[in-house]
Chains A and B, each alone.
Chain A
Amino acid sequence: MTQSVVVQVGQCGNQVGCRFWDLALREHAHVNKRGLYDEALSSFFRNVDPRKSDGGACCVGGRIQHLKARAVLIDMEEGVVHRILQGPLREVFDSAQLLTDVSGSGNNWAVGNLTYGSAYMDSIVNKLRKAAEHCDCLQCFFLIHSMGGGTGSGLGTRVLSLLEEEFPDVCRIVTAMYPSAEDDVITSPYNSVLAMKELTEHADCVLPVENQSLVDIVNKISLMSHDAKPGCVLKKESTVTSGQGGVSPTERPFDAMNNIVANLLLNITSSSRFDGSLNMDLNEIAMNLVPFPRLHYLVPSLTPLYTLADVNIPTRRLDQMFSDAFSKEHQLIRADPKHSLYLACALMVRGNVQVSDLRRNIERLRPSLPFVSWNQEGWKTGLCSVPPVGHTHSLLALANNTCVKPTFMELRDRFTKLYKKKAHLHHYLHIDGMEQSTFSEALSSLSALIEEYHHLDATKARLIPDAPRLSIAR
């Protein structure tokens, strides 16, 4: 069994991360009835017996003593991390896993990446090495941060390039929270574009998530639960936004949205933690979904968002789940994959779903989904037998689709609007190590990426003939 380490950077990253650990504990408590520290638990948690003298690490198979998360928490101001340490999750983290400073990055990518990046480089590398050493077989680093701020985007991407240097064989999956157009941080376009260049170059996969989509999903759910028709009552603990049953009882603002992202991470790793008839490991995700090294932005969509309390016709609900995964409302960024070009698509199913259901739905949906000519049957499927808490089955779809192009183009427009006027540029340029060329390089990297997607899009309408085959001399 492999282990993964979660690295959460910045306010957003830590808040999402916090929800993730809460939900992970809830999921394992649901499944692990005997209190034994099993392989599934060990993928995200260490078992520590504080009474033992040598540091207390316990191996798989024994009883659970103290679970410690395999995580590194980084933030340049103390508020968020301190709140975590005072909350019910304090037992799960070791002070050695934390890195904080006092004054924050002032929403400035350069401060996060260059100033703090250099100052704390050794300390960060040490903490990462420590976390890696605790792992038997480290497979993946999950990096969670926002793109619009200063610490998350700046220091987060610095950590990403450190991970590539120090652990080149370990997969790096980044969950990046992209700012919406109405973001209240004025410099968020700068921070996002500067961070994008790092993500394109150093990450193995990026799961972009947009705040606006999360808000829409949360609203949809609360509409469902308030406008409930008789017989359509929602099971409260089964909504994808619910943290009920977890460790933290009260739900604060943003918690509902962060729960969605936390669920995304749980579902992605479910097949490598639990049994199933068709396993899908994390390294298989990068292998199958990334046809060209830079095009590694995978649009996530989660279904179902909620379960109705009454028992419905199972098969129809199952098929509905598959259809929903491709609809606009369930994507975690604002995009319409059905009308853009699919390069590859992965379906991770959890729960009591068999291969015939999967086949049937793929056959049904395939005609309406445009796939690139050289990957007409580009589906990667995984079946995990353990469903998430509160549901009988669930589906996570990851699509490598050109529908990210409009998102990136919009980002580039917002960037250029500010950059043309050189607004706020001085805040960045007076940071040691930051130059005008950093901006122009980031912009051209983003433009090149958009070009690559555009190129593929152009093949969409054209009928590409089969490539001429090798002919054998007889």
Chain B
Amino acid sequence: MSVVTVQLGQCGNQVGQELFDVMRSDAPDVHRKTYSAVSRERFFRQTTQGALEARAVLIDMEPKVINHSMSEAAKSGRWRYGETSHFSQKQGSGNNWANGYCVHGPRHRDAVEELVRREVEHCDMLAGFIPIMSVAGGTGSGVGTFVTQCLRDVYPSSFVLNHLTWPYGTGEVIVQNYNSVLTLAHLYQLSDAILVHENDIVHKICSQLLKIKQISFSDINRVIAHQLGGVLQPTLTPVSCGAYSRHPIGELMSALACHPEYKLLSVCTIPQMASSSIAFSTFSWPALLKHLRQMLISNSKMEGGIDWQVCPPPASAGRSRSLSAGSFNTSLANLLILRGKDVYSADTGGFEDPAIYTSWLPPDEALSLWKSPVPFNKYEKSATLVSNSQALLRPLDDMVRKAWNMFASRAYIHQYVKFGISEEDFLDSFTSLEQVISSYSELQ
């Protein structure tokens, strides 16, 4: 079953290229033939000359990044992008969601749909779509939202898992909060689930865990790619009957996307360390899983500085939670993916504790467990946790608060209005997101 990735905007194209690189270099042909065959089939297709081409469509409104990504891919020698799988224009969207959604999207709809259709035709069976984009800019966010809508319209029964990169809180783009609010509000209606990475968190991983001194965007993108790879590479699932699962996205959805009001997914991976240290470290499942569980409930996305004081409240106490009270992170559902040596002996009991979940789902339904005996990306043992929980509540609330403050003074609104978005549309988006925030806050 194959996955078609749609890379949108500068961030989407840069992250996508790193992702395919990870997938390709992870699957060692020699040792695990089945694993690498499944991984290859899922993300690449073979040309008549035997070269591997990524099942990806690259979209941007200006050509520089796509050219760069395509040449980086070709340089690796192990894979490349299809010659004609890209679409670009001359001029970008100017960080303006309205420009991306109302002008560029519709204008180039046919060309983009054609590219997607061609890629889908190469697939024997389509597992789903993964649009990759950022929410701060204009193309990724605006055109990305429009393309997601097109995917929904043309392939109504396929899964759409959006991967979003949230910008640094202290700003990369001044109107990033507007663009983010508009994107998230629309995607919530269109997408099956939204997987989020935050630049701030990934930056901390790079500096504190990977010990990189001068962090560049490539470093950040590589971490994101590693985490995404940990989710998407082949695994054995409870329903796949002893073979690698053929429905990765569908099973992810059924594991995590249990309710239409709860679609935000966060990822964390353990261990994450500088590649030079991996050879000198030993890993044990009990230690890894204990840390990971605490990372989940204390809402920290990395192994450094975990707050061990946080623990689930006792079942008897009245469970009323508000945003500010307590730092305990309640989960709706969790997907735990274990890869590497001795996976079958790993004890995941800690994740079945009903105290860490809401009361509606029994823990054996809230937790899904996938395993793969193949070590992932040089780590002898690694665990990835995809979580539908309150983890993104605080960053989402901050984003909406800042956008709302700016909206209250009507700053920059004229820039959006001139491309066709009205104040009403803004208000609708704010309302939808307040609804999401409210739903997640009430999770108990």
Interface residues of A (CB under 8 A from B): 1-2, 39, 136-137, 139, 275, 277-279, 281, 283-284, 286-293, 343-344, 354-357, 359, 362-363, 366, 373-381, 383, 466-467, 469-472, 474
Decide: A374 and B170 in contact? CB cutoff 8 A: no
For residue A2, which residues in chain B have a CB less than 8 angstroms away from its CB? 62, 90-91
Which of chain B's residues has its CB closest to A465's CB?
A: B405
Contact B411 A374 (CB under 8 A): yes
Instruction: Please pick, from B10, B92, B404, B408, the residue contacting A283 in the complex, using a CB distance under 8 A.
Output: B92
Q: Which of B212, B216, B401, B442 contacts A469 (CB 8 A)?
A: B401
**Which residues of the other chain, B, contact A344 by a CB distance below 8 angstroms?**
174
Who on chain A is nearest to B212 by CB?
A356
Q: Please tell me which one of the listed residues B207, B415, B427, B430 contacts residue A287 in the complex, with CB atoms under 8 A apart.
A: B415
Please tell me if B402 contacts chain A, counting CB pairs below 8 Å.
yes
Docked complex Cα distance between A38 and B345 (Å): 59
Q: Which residues of A contact B434 (CB under 8 A)?
A: 469-472
- B405 lies within 8 A of A354 (CB): no
Contacting pair A284 B405 (CB below 8 A) = no
Sampled A-B contacts (11; CB under 8 Å) = A283-B95, A283-B96, A288-B95, A288-B175, A292-B410, A343-B411, A356-B213, A373-B405, A374-B406, A381-B171, A467-B407
* Complex Cα–Cα for A265 and B206 (A): 35
B94 contact from A137, A281, A292, A373, Cβ within 8 A: A281
Q: Does B169 contact A (CB under 8 A)?
A: yes
* A373 neighbours in B (Cβ, 8 Å): 405
Contact among A275, A277, A292 with B216 in the assembled complex (CB-CB below 8 Å) = A277
Closest chain A CB from B364 CB (angstroms):
30
Would A467 and B62 count as touching, CB distance under 8 A? no
Residues of B within 8 A of A379 (CB): 170-172, 174
- The minimal Cβ–Cβ distance linking A364 to chain B, given in whole angstroms, is 11
Q: Chain A: which residue is nearest B438 at the CB level? A: A472
B405 touches A466 (CB 8 A): yes
Give bound CA distance, A286 to B414, whole Å. Answer: 12
Contacts of B401 in A (CB 8 A): 466, 469
Chain A nearest CB from B172 CB (Å) reads 6
Which residues from chain B contact A359 at a C-beta distance below 8 Å? 168, 170, 203
Q: Which of B16-24, B63-71, B298-306 contacts A (4 or more CB under 8 A)?
A: B63-71
Q: Are B411 and A472 interface neighbours, CB within 8 A?
A: no
Q: How far is the CA of A136 from the CA of B89 in the complex (A)?
A: 11
Q: Assuming A291-B411, A356-B203, A469-B434, is B215 touching A375 (CB within 8 A)?
A: no
Query: Which chain A residues lie closer than 8 Å to B220 at the CB level?
Result: 355
B174 and A375 contact, CB distance less than 8 A: yes
What 6 pairs across the A-B complex have the smallest Cβ distances?
Answer: A283-B94, A137-B90, A356-B215, A291-B411, A467-B408, A379-B171
Is there an interface contact between B174 and A288, defined as CB atoms closer than 8 Å? Answer: yes
Q: Which of B62, B171, B218, B415 has the most CB of A within 10 A?
A: B171
Known contacts A284-B138, A379-B172; can you find 8 more A-B pairs with CB under 8 A?
A: A137-B89, A137-B91, A277-B217, A281-B94, A287-B415, A355-B215, A374-B411, A469-B401
Complex CA gap A288/B136 in Å reads 12
Name the one of B94, B410, B430, B438 contacting A284, with C-beta atoms under 8 angstroms. B94
A279 to B63, alpha carbons, bound, how many Å?
11
Residues of A within 8 A of B407 (CB): 467
**Once the chains are docked, how many angstroms separate the CA of A39 from the CA of B442?**
53
Min CB distance A304 to B, Å, is 19
CB closest chain-B residue, reference A471: B434
* Residue pair B431, A354 in contact (C-beta under 8 Å): no
Min distance, Cβ A449 to any Cβ of chain B, angstroms: 16
Q: Which residues on the A side are within 8 Å of B89 (C-beta)? A: 137
* With A1-B62, A356-B214, A376-B402: A136-B438 Cβ-Cβ less than 8 Å: no
Distance to closest chain A CB from B405 (angstroms): 5
Residue on B nearest A363 in the bound complex, by CB: B170
Tell yes or no: B74 within 8 A of A by CB. Answer: no
The CA of A471 and the CA of B431, in the complex, are separated in Å by 8
Chain A residues, Cβ within 8 Å of B411: 291-292, 343, 374-375
Contact with A along B416-444 (1 / 0, CB 8 A): 00000000000100110011001000100
Could you say which residues of chain A place their CB within 8 Å of the CB of B91?
Answer: 2, 137, 139, 281, 283
How many Å lie between the Cα of A277 and that of B408 in the bound state? 33
Tell me which residues across on chain B come within 8 A of A136, comparing CB atoms: 90
Contact A377 B171 (CB under 8 A): yes
A171, closest chain B residue (CB): B94
Pairwise interchain contact A377-B92, C-beta atoms closer than 8 A: no
Q: Taking CB as reference atom, which chain B residue is nearest A383? A: B217
- Distance (Å) between the CB of A141 and the closest chain B CB? 14
Q: How far is the CA of A376 from the CA of B218 in the complex (A)?
A: 28
- List residues of chain B with CB within 8 A of the CB of A289: 174
* B173 proximal to A (CB < 8 A): yes
Of A292, A376, A474, which is within 8 A of B438 by CB?
A: A474
Residue B409 at the chain A interface, CB threshold 8 Å: yes
Q: A287–B172 contact, CB under 8 A?
A: no
Query: Which of B63, B92, B220 has the largest number of chain A CB atoms within 10 A?
Result: B92
